Structure 1
């Protein structure tokens, strides 16, 4: 019987090649659909934020940064499509391979960072009424967004080293301690950038829902709108990020046991769920609509035909501009349901 170590370091296995051509050809067509939908969607959203909505005046700098991250993600899809169409999990060109992994790490981290920041802002607005909201102060400063992007750059360093095979080698033959540490650090970054933010997100969501149910006085439709803001972010995480994270953990477990056949299956599941995670660029506009009614109104009036505008512009546009009040002691505090 072949030992796990021998199987995990099998020199005859090309880990850059796809274990199933049919699976990856199908995934390439899925990504073509994501690209065909995501490119015009994100271009139109960028147009609205820059030329019509003027994000720097509407306290939507964080939303704009999510749009930028999504657009960069969409721009990476043609390279992934090309690789999958040619039966390669990653490009056999090391520069292209590392550049793609760098971009995916950076854009994924940026989307998560700004989504969590929005959720924290909603948390402080609802749960800690009357207290200074430091996140709201950050939202008005474009410099803070630049700092967030710069802080994400060190987390992409493991993607630029030259020690890993086909951009994905943890659990394979380890020649040096440097090799092992680098790959381990990359995996730690991959998991922590999902697990920690998701924990924060769940905490914020639970606190917000409980606060609105117990303390806030107002119409049910207004309360639902406030909850939708944070729940929409939870949905994005649950659909786009969590499945691929679980699949990654399963893949590493199987790989470390040295079972090549099982690893081939786990690789296909992981890559399929990573393709699913790219739908982030299609789901984020829903978050924009819940976070800011102005975005929805401007987008509909700009790109939707007249007959659709009448259906899409519902009475909730007036609801969004109103405020719900809650009484804290002897004070009445205004609670804005969404940002203007």
Structure 2
């Protein structure tokens, strides 16, 4: 498609402050350099050592997959920033990468919310029927979640979302409808899950504080899990959402000079949201003692692994094999799953 719309997209994608985007490019490169080996190692342990399908960790595995696919998109983002553009100059590649970013972002949030709901039912409504527990054991449910997320990622490819040819620009009726739908999906994808996460976390922490039976370390670890979900969600996703709202407000008022500044803040906070691919494996996976032991046993030197194991006292164990040796690993506690 050619005409005024194409030039309009390119004009709004060119950056006014190249220094800012050079810095962001290096930040994205750093996220890629750290995120690629981290997520590859986590995937390896999940598949070959932890055997996630046997440890009821299918949803956790899907979060790691979403993070890995996000990491794979980061080089394209860094490349466009080094060229002084907010998107890849290849329009087809730009739409494909943006589709992947939207899909992986939605998948990470969806599986995160599902895990929080499971913890909520296991702690707050212990003894009652937990429908999430049955869902998380089925790989087919994970496939269904990915398929349901596909339509929500499509609006990001209809027009260039990153370059902000959306609300406030003069466009046709169909373009305005598309823009409104896309912005609605963007904000709903963050705000509604955050409300659910906040409610589940508050109720879970309140219930755990009332518990008098069980190991203190186990309860503290469970509270750490549920609180960390909201903290990481708030750090990675809420800032970019608020910046997006501010950007749309500035554009609707026609403040063009201020818009150039707000756009840079928005892009910087979007780069911050990519840090999710580094924090998810550390917080949502390593907090499970069984997976943590499997990871340390695989990648840590033997003397360091034995020293770290002495610091904890696991209660229930399962046996896995690695490099010809048998290792006793603590199972995932019920409150954490």
TM-based fold match above 0.5: yes
Q: TM-score, normalised by structure 1?
A: 0.88
1:107 maps to what in 2?
104
1:168, distance to aligned residue in structure 2 (A): 2.9
1:88 maps to what in 2?
85
* Shift >4 Å, 4+ stretches: 10-13, 163-167
Q: Is the 8 A contact 2:86 2:163 kept in 1?
A: no
Deviations 1:40-76 (A, max 9, x none): 0000011011111111111110011001100000000
For 1:147 and 1:12, locate their aligned partners in 2 and report how far apart those are by CA, in whole Å. 34
2:330 maps to what in 1?
none
Structure 1's 312 and 19: CA in aligned 2 closer, same or farther, altered over 3 A? farther
Q: Is the 8 A contact 2:9 2:160 kept in 1?
A: no
For 1:314 and 1:17, locate their aligned partners in 2 and report how far apart those are by CA, in whole Å. 56
1:82, distance to aligned residue in structure 2 (A): 0.3
5+ unaligned residues in a row in structure 1: which ranges? Answer: 1-9, 322-334
1:121 maps to what in 2?
118
1:150 maps to what in 2?
147
For 1:11 and 1:125, locate their aligned partners in 2 and report how far apart those are by CA, in whole Å. 52
1:336 maps to what in 2?
334
2:60 to 59, 63, 66: 63
1:184, distance to aligned residue in structure 2 (A): 1.0
Structure 1's 318 and 93: CA in aligned 2 closer, same or farther, altered over 3 A? same
1:325 maps to what in 2?
none
For 1:207 and 1:310, locate their aligned partners in 2 and report how far apart those are by CA, in whole Å. 37
Structure 1's 166 and 114: CA in aligned 2 closer, same or farther, altered over 3 A? closer
5+ unaligned residues in a row in structure 2: which ranges? Answer: 1-6, 318-332
| Worse-matched range after superposition: 121-130 or 301-310 | 301-310
Structure 1's 42 and 185: CA in aligned 2 closer, same or farther, altered over 3 A? same
For 2:240 and 2:73, locate their aligned partners in 1 and report how far apart those are by CA, in whole Å. 18
Structure 1's 13 and 295: CA in aligned 2 closer, same or farther, altered over 3 A? closer
1:260, distance to aligned residue in structure 2 (A): 1.4
1:337, distance to aligned residue in structure 2 (A): 2.9
Q: Is the 8 A contact 1:124 1:133 kept in 2?
A: yes
